[in-house]
Structure 1
Amino acid sequence: MAVAPIIVYPPLGTGGRRVTARGQILGLAYSDADVLEFLRRAGLPDAEALLDEPSFVQWRGGRAHHYEAA
């Protein structure tokens, strides 16, 4: 099974989720808007529709779109 190119890691104890693209850290997201900004900066300006596409974004640990501390 192929790994999605974008990975949103589990919420940290302090809140926020680390986001990577093909193994490179893009930043720490506290909302979907943050994730979309990281993807825009990485050259994917129309990524909003892809946030719930498992072949594009893998949400690890916790619920998708949930950023509060674990």
Structure 2
Amino acid sequence: MPSVPSTPPVVVYPPDERGGRRVRIDSEISGMAYGVRDVAEFLRRAGLEIDPSEVAQAAWIDWRGGGPDVWTH
């Protein structure tokens, strides 16, 4: 049976006072996201192709302090 590559841990932290959320991919901070499209771009840069419309449903993303629809502190 072929091995399936595992997805690195992805954590989106709670929004700060400016509405940005830190994004960590595989123990490294990738940047500050201000929307789902930013999260998708950080994932793309890490080699994980995902359509921005699919980010909200991705079970392997750990949304802390609110889901993908929460961008205010």
Q: What do you get for the CA RMSD once the two structures are aligned? A: 1.8
> 3-state DSSP class of the match of 2:14?
coil
- Higher radius of gyration, 1 or 2: 2
State yes or no: 1:35 paired with 2:14: no
Alignment gaps of 5+ in structure 1:
none
8 Å CA contact 1:40–1:47 kept in 2: the answer is: no
Q: % of aligned pairs identical?
A: 43
- Measured at CA, do residues 31 and 6 of structure 1 come closer, stay the same or move farther in structure 2, by a change above 3 Å? same
| Deviation readout 1:7-65 (Å, 9 max, x if unpaired) | 000000121100001110010000100000000011012254354233x1000012333
* CA positional deviation for 1:6: 0.5
* TM-score normalised over the length of structure 2: 0.75
Question: 1:21 is matched with which residue: 25, 46, 49?
Answer: 25
Q: More relative contact order in 1 or in 2 (CA 8 Å, sep 6+)?
A: 1
Q: How many residues align?
A: 65
* TM-score normalised over the length of structure 1: 0.78
Alignment gaps of 5+ in structure 2:
1-7
